[in-house]
Amino acid sequence: MTSLKAEKAVIVPGNGCGDVADSNWYGWANRKLNEIPGFSSILRNMPDPITARESIWLPFMKDELKVDEKTIIIGHSSGACAAIRFAESNPVYGIVLVGAYHTDLGDYNEGESGYFNHPWHWEKARENTQFIVQFGSTDDPFLPWSEQEFVSTSLHADLKKFEDRGHFMDESFPELISVVKQHLK
């Protein structure tokens, strides 16, 4: 990829959220990212927020959120799946994955999302990004560490491993802001 400058971040939440501005660290991170001079961040409620269907979320990311080659996608949980799937076929500046996984984990709703019923194209996702950072925690109550490790290895991601962050559902996430700032330099 050519070396472009990142102009914005798009935060793609996990499924099952109410108003994303009041969920987890999303609103906090959006405010912090919008404080960076010459950079902006977008956080919007996603359509189909419970099932988070790939067939709905990916077009929304492209057409409504205007994700492009100058965008850093920050995806949490099912939003991380959306970020990877988007990067498989679209150039983006980078992806930051939080609580990423690659199977439906035997969960019906996850199975209905569509992310897991066709092969992952890890190499294409890598080729379409300038960087991939992944945050994972060994004590995640929803995702086995093996799932998170598999994604990291498959993407050759810069893995930020924690042992005490669960599914990253805190109200703030300073490490995330640091990683984005690091990749804007």
Which of the residues are catalytic? 77, 140, 167
User: In terms of Cα–Cα distance, which of 131, 124, 151, 135 is closest to 75?
Assistant: 135
CA distance 109 to 125: 24
Task: Give the residue ranges of DSSP H helices in the chain.
Answer: 26-34, 54-63, 78-89, 108-112, 122-127, 145-155, 174-182
| DSSP 8-state class, residue 68 | -
Which pair of structure tokens corresponds to residue 7? 């102009």
Residue 94 contacts residue 129 (beta carbons within 8 Å): yes
